[in-house]
Amino acid sequence: MLPPDIDTAAAPEAANSLADAAPGTTRPDATRAISLTELFTIGIGPSSSHTVGPMRAAFAFAADAVERGTVASVQCELFGSLALTGIGHATDMAILLGLAGHQPETVDPDAIPALLAEIRESGRIALAGQIDIAFDEASHLLFRRGQFLAGHANAMRFTATYADGGSHQATWFSIGGGAICREGAEPARINFTLPHPFSSAAELLAIGEATGMSVGEIVARNELAWRPEAETAGFLDAVRAAMLGCITRGIAAEGMLPGGLHVRRRARDMHARLVARGPRSDPSAVFEWVSLWALAVNEENAAGGRVVTAPTNGAAGVIPAVLKYYEVFTATPTPAGSRLFLTTAAAIGFLYKKRASISAAEMGCQGEVGVACSMAAAGLAAALGATNAQIENAAEIGMEHNLGLTCDPIGGLVQIPCIERNTMGAIKAINAAYLAMHGDGRHIVSLDAVIETMRQTGEDMRSKYKETSLGGLAVNVVEC
């Protein structure tokens, strides 16, 4: 059932792309270099676009507002997908925490309930952790359901009023994967040139042909423009550890997920049954273990736990599950292979960010689980010794069979079908990698063509299937 105050006709089919944004607003990743540290970030669940991004935007606005003078009050208005599914995605929580000076990378997930309770019970907030002001959530945090802004389907408008009667207003967009941009701001620029810049798979393959480097090696060489090689290796090892740690925590936890759908965690019981079966002689057990690992991550994400955005939170289980498959089930896994897996996956993620989007509010779930599947397929193929052509083919297969995948979370929660969808994405990624490696890299549909197809499909997809919970399973399954 739709909430009584939602008018499905009020959600325009336009205004879902930064290509149609107001003057001065552009897709920031289209022309600039992107680093590994932007694609893989450690934050909190349940959503990169609806939790992590809004928290970062609220944090940035609060810091800016405090610098401008003595703030008397602050208001935040949420639009588009943030307004329609924000409660289920913990956007309200994210805004409060961000305004209070907390960031997703550093906030303690276990401390969040107490932090929120203090704000809500006192009716006050320490803006940017500095200025204590009154904050009435009912009047200062407004969900503009059915209203979309031109810049992006995930939009936030912040307004600060000052003791002297003045005001400051800014609109921010959460554009996917936890990335944010402010309306009217100039796209971020870098003052150096990457040694091997690429913005298409064709360019990436050409660089590999000219230099003899693999896809992952090209990314690693580009990262030298930001930091020494040892620091990048340390970052990749930290990402790997965080991913595997999330699997471990997800398997250990039990009970009901928050939100009211009464979704019970399954990873713990599934793990116990798999362990009880003993040696993994049954071939089907491989897929069950992979599904378990993806399930564990996304249950942890749904509970608001610490996860790696890879490339989004809603799709955070795919890459860790396939990476663990490489380390547990393949013949000769190595730490170097795991790093190659991640740098190769990142190369593919860069292409989707540059040429399309990883935001479900723009692309549907093809832009989240589909992209994660494509990235994981390429990463696994690389770790198994595939050629660059085979890696590109694996990435293409991983997306080709996720085209048109909608985002229709029941109750606006990142639970059904999101959690199970990650298990399917992980299995597809493994299949795609092996299919590609059975060939010589020659194939009909290029990765660039499939990315463009995803972009066109996302633009053609009706808004009700793009993280608004106004269509699909969200309206055809009765919430219990």
Name the residue with tokens 């499909």: 457
pTM: 0.89
Q: For the chain, report the end-to-end CA distance as a whole number of angstroms.
A: 11
**What are the phi and psi torsion angles at 129 (to 5°)?**
70, 15
- Tokens in use for 370? 């589909």
Q: For residue 402, which of 435, 434, 364 has the smallest C-alpha distance?
A: 364
Stretch(es) of the chain classified as CATH 1.10.4100: 195-465
pLDDT in the model for residue 282? 81
CA 460/CA 447 separation, integer angstroms = 20
**What are the phi and psi torsion angles at 33 (to 5°)?**
-75, 145
Q: For residue 474, which of 402, 421, 407, 422 has the smallest C-alpha distance?
A: 407
pLDDT in the model for residue 16? 38
Is the Cβ–Cβ distance between 321 and 380 less than 8 Å? no
In this structure, the dihedral spanned by the alpha carbons of residues 107, 295, 269 and 408, taken in order and rounded to 10 degrees, is 100
Sign of CA dihedral 1, 175, 12, 157: positive
In three-state form (DSSP H/G/I as H, E/B as E, the rest C), the secondary structure along the chain is CCCCCCCHHHCCCCCCCHHHCCCCCCCCCCCCCCCHHHHCEEEECCCHHHHHHHHHHHHHHHHHHHHHCCEEEEEEEEEHHHHHHCCCCCHHHHHHHHHCCCCCCCCCHHHHHHHHHHHHHHCEEEECCCEEEECCHHHHEEEECCCCCCCCCEEEEEEEEECCCCEEEEEEEEEECCEEEECCCCCCCCCCCCCCCCCCHHHHHHHHHHHCCCHHHHHHHHHCCCCCHHHHHHHHHHHHHHHHHHHHHHHHCCCECCCCCCCECCHHHHHHHHHHCCCCCCCHHHHHHHHHHHHHHHHHHHCCCEEEECCCCCCCCHHHHHHHHHHHHCCCCCHHHHHHHHHHHHHHHHHHHHHCCCCHHHHCHHHCHHHHHHHHHHHHHHHCCCCHHHHHHHHHHHHHCCCCCCECCHHHCCCCCHHHHHHHHHHHHHHHHHHHHCCCCCCCCCHHHHHHHHHHHHHHCCHHHECCCCCCHHHHCCCC
As to burial, measured by CB atoms within 10 angstroms (0-12 exposed, 13-18 middle, 19+ buried), residue 14 is: exposed
The single-letter code of the amino acid at 431 is N
CA 41/CA 307 separation, integer angstroms = 8
pLDDT in the model for residue 328? 96
Tell me: the pLDDT tens digits for 437-459?
Answer: 999 999 999 999 999 999 999 99
CA 215/CA 204 separation, integer angstroms = 7
C-beta neighbour count of 285 within 10 angstroms: 15
Sign of CA dihedral 176, 177, 182, 188: negative
Cis peptide preceding 320, ω within 30 of 0: no
**Which numeric CATH code is attached to 50-175?**
3.30.1330.90
Stretch(es) of the chain classified as CATH 3.30.1330.90: 50-175
Q: For residue 409, which of 84, 41, 13 has the smallest C-alpha distance?
A: 84
pLDDT in the model for residue 352? 98
Return per-residue pLDDT of the chain as tens, 480 residues. 333 333 333 344 433 333 333 222 334 456 679 999 999 999 999 999 999 999 999 999 999 999 999 999 999 999 999 999 999 999 999 999 999 999 999 999 999 999 999 999 999 999 999 999 999 999 999 999 999 999 999 999 999 999 999 999 999 999 999 999 999 987 665 556 899 999 999 999 999 999 999 999 999 999 999 999 999 999 999 999 999 999 999 999 999 999 999 999 999 999 999 999 887 668 889 999 999 999 999 999 999 999 999 999 999 999 999 999 999 999 999 999 999 999 999 999 999 999 999 999 999 999 999 999 999 999 999 999 999 999 999 999 999 999 999 999 999 999 999 999 999 999 999 999 999 999 999 999 999 999 999 999 999 999 999 999 999 999 998 654
- Top-level CATH class of 195-465? mainly alpha
The CA-atom distances, in angstroms, between 241 and each of 31, 35, 80, 184, 422 are 31, 19, 35, 38, 19
Tell me: the pLDDT tens digits for 252-264?
Answer: 999 999 999 999 9
pLDDT in the model for residue 148? 94
User: How many Cα atoms occupy the beta-carbon half-sphere of 57 within 13 Å?
Assistant: 36
pLDDT in the model for residue 190? 55
pLDDT in the model for residue 403? 98
Sign of CA dihedral 321, 358, 464, 259: positive
CA 291/CA 81 separation, integer angstroms = 29
pLDDT in the model for residue 236? 98
CA 207/CA 197 separation, integer angstroms = 9
